A and B are shown apart, each in its own frame.
Chain A
Amino acid sequence: MTEQDKPVSEPEESAPEGATDETAQAEAPASVRPARRAPPHEEEAPPEVLNPRGQTTLGLLMQVADPYVIAHGGRDDIPWIETRAQRLTEVARRCRDHRDLDLKMLHCLLVVDYIEHLQAVYVLLSPVKGTRAILKVNVPADEPKVPSLTGLWAATDWYEREMHELFGMEFEGHPNLSPLILYEGFEGYPGLKSFPFNDYEEF
């Protein structure tokens, strides 16, 4: 970091709507600057509401995963429950094998970087019954580790490999966590918020 890269002026407290102030968020060098964002609206976010179908699904989920549920919520007919990483395999298996839930398909697996912790999100779906549910697991950012679910759904394989290389999430028990979509020799985890973003690199 040279003298020119140092911030010229103090960043403003809140930029006006739609403004593109060059000095905003200039405290970090360009290579690690996150994308500029307008400040959020003042108004309160409306609460998430489940419809009757969602309530039923949530009831079943709670019954299935009873002692291991940390938090729950949901929107429309997609409820979510949060569980602990150690209990994930067991909860997921029960969700899959439950007769009324019948969540036989892993629809989507993703990781969200909340900076202080990472969140693995498993979207489950039943193509026969039409039920949908989401499992969430929070893991500390300095030791992101969840058990691999490759034994439950075949779809997990590629999803976990992708999330491993983009977020550095460790999936314990995965047979082959080799890189999937990034080129060989790529360093860093580009999915994370700390990864240099709006910047070009000589290649």
Chain B
Amino acid sequence: MTTHPELETVDMMLNMGPQHPSTHGVFRMVLWIDGERIVDMEPHIGYLHRGSEKLCEGERYGQVVTLFDRLDYVSNFNNEQVFCRAVERLMDIEVPERAMYIRTILCELNRVASHLLFLGTYALDAGAMTPVLYAFRERERIQNLYEAVSGARMMHNFIRIGGIKEEVPADFVPRVRQLLGELRRGVEECDNLLTFNEVFLARTRGVGVIDADTAVSYGLTGPCLRASGLAYDVRKDHPYEIYPNVSFTVPVGEYGDCWDRYWVRVQEAYQSLNIVEQCLDQMTEGPIMPQMRRIARPPKGEVYVHGENPRGDIGVYLVSDGTDKPYRLKVRPPSYCNLTALRHMMKDAFIADAVVILGSLDIVLGEVDR
């Protein structure tokens, strides 16, 4: 695309990353620009490739959970849960109800924490310095709860095949209830500060548009897909664990632009808080682990299980040969697929919007590269 056809111009190549504050990790993209317009771009990934899938083949099923923590390192519980669900499905284990409720509470709080992180850093990407401070303050409250529950702030290793590692602290329920009130106020605060801010709207409205059909073809899932107007949520369409027992709505965007992707995430955070509240009301006493062998050995076979991560649809394809280690384990990383569409979104965008578009996908490179 040439703006002045009478002039002889040459596209300029611009390298961005891998060490760049707004790529949220080690991610590099090469942009070809014509003046202020992006003509073409090419993403380069793999700087964080650790071969997690191959490593899983050398670990016992119970040990693989730790590797899943390190995929998407800001929504660890969701990752652990999807792997454990895959093994449980293969072994036909029934998870005790209390364990499922505790898992769901932790996962949904993780979703709020992840969306808060997105909210803060996205504002930073768009040029607003303040919300990140508020968002991190709120996220810290969730991290403190996680520390009390699992002993770790990030790499929890708490969800086990069949249930959870240990009983939660005695003051868990009142503490989460108090946390819910604080978080609601916190999310609202950031929401009020940013959502309809005129400058923020100007930066994000109509930028990085992707329509529903293209989004589906690119395999976009999670908030990125819902922002394009398709209400696909694994928790609703293929309900698992205790999601059939709780009521929540799936926020859907209209235009599939950056603002819609932002807005869907903020609304999802509110919905997650509602889910946690319902879980606290419904939760009863009971066992947290079923009777099972200490070393999991699923029978021969394969299974595909997927669940809703804050970033999208995380899937696990597990092939078992009947031994105590997975024969093949494939993770379908949501950020990876969302990143595929980046090129489509960035074509013909302004160079100043490159960061805003990338930020709106909310990628975690630990998961993209695996």
Which A42-100 residues sit within 8 Å CB-CB of chain B?
Answer: 43-46, 48, 75-78
**Chain A residues closer than 8 Å to B336, beta-carbon distance:** 158
Contact with B along A94-119 (1 / 0, CB 8 A): 00000000001111101011000000
Whether A127 lies near B225 (C-beta < 8 A) is yes
Q: Which residues of B contact A183 (CB under 8 A)?
A: 46
- Give the residues in chain B near A127, CB-CB below 8 Å: 216, 221, 225, 230, 232, 237
A130: shortest Cβ distance to chain B, in Å?
5
Report A-chain residues with C-beta under 8 Å of the C-beta of B306.
107
The SS class assigned to the A binding surface is loop
Q: How far, in Å, is A178 (CB) from chain B's closest CB?
A: 10
A177 at the interface (CB under 8 A from B): no
The yes or no answer to B94 lying at the interface (CB within 8 A) is: no
> Is B322 among interface residues, defined by CB-CB distance under 8 A?
yes
Tally of chain B residues near chain A (CB < 8 A): 50
> Interface-forming stretch among B49-57, B126-134, B187-195, B270-278?
B49-57
Tell which of B54, B299, B313 touches A197, judged by Cβ atoms closer than 8 Å: B54
Q: How far is the CB of A15 from chain B (nearest CB, A)?
A: 11
**Bound CA span A40–B326, Å:** 12
Interface residues on A, range: 35 or more
B300 touches A40 (CB 8 A): yes
- Complex Cα gap A127–B228 (Å): 12
- Residues B190-233 near A (CB distance < 8 A): 213-214, 216-219, 221, 225, 230, 232
A43, A105, A198 pick with most chain B CB within 10 angstroms: A105
A184, closest chain B residue (CB): B46
The answer on a CB contact under 8 Å between B304 and A134 is: yes
Chain B residues whose CB sits within 8 angstroms of the CB of A197 once the complex forms:
54, 57-58
- For the complex, give the distance between the alpha carbons of A78 and B89 in Å: 13
Q: Determine if B51 and A190 form an interchain contact, defined as CB atoms under 8 angstroms apart.
A: yes
Contact of B332 among A43, A108, A112 (CB under 8 A): A108
Q: Judging by beta carbons under 8 Å apart, are B328 and A113 in contact?
A: yes
**Bound-state Cα–Cα, A154 to B322, Å:** 35
Q: Are B332 and A40 in contact (CB under 8 A)?
A: no
Cα-based distance from A198 to B51 in the complex (angstroms)? 12
Is B45 engaged at the interface, CB distance under 8 Å to the other chain?
A: yes
Report whether B216 and A105 are in contact in the complex, using a CB–CB cutoff of 8 Å: yes
CA distance A136 to B327 in the complex (A): 17
A40 & B321 in contact (Cβ 8 Å cutoff): yes
Output the least CB separation between B298 and chain A (Å).
9
Chain A positions within 8 Å of B219 at CB level: 105-107, 153-155
A181→B238 contact, CB < 8 A: no
B332 touching A123, Cβ below 8 Å? yes
Which residue of the partner chain B has the closest CB to A157? B340
Contact check: which of B53, B317, B319, B328 meets A108 at CB < 8 Å?
A: B317
**Given A17-B295, A123-B304; A37-B324 close (CB under 8 Å):** yes
Which 7 interchain pairs have the tightest Cβ spacing? A40-B322, A155-B219, A181-B46, A45-B299, A127-B232, A35-B58, A110-B330
Residues of A in contact with B (beta carbons under 8 Å apart)? 17-18, 35, 37-41, 43-46, 48, 75-78, 104-108, 110, 112-113, 121, 123, 127-128, 130, 132, 134, 153-155, 157-158, 179-183, 190-191, 195, 197-198
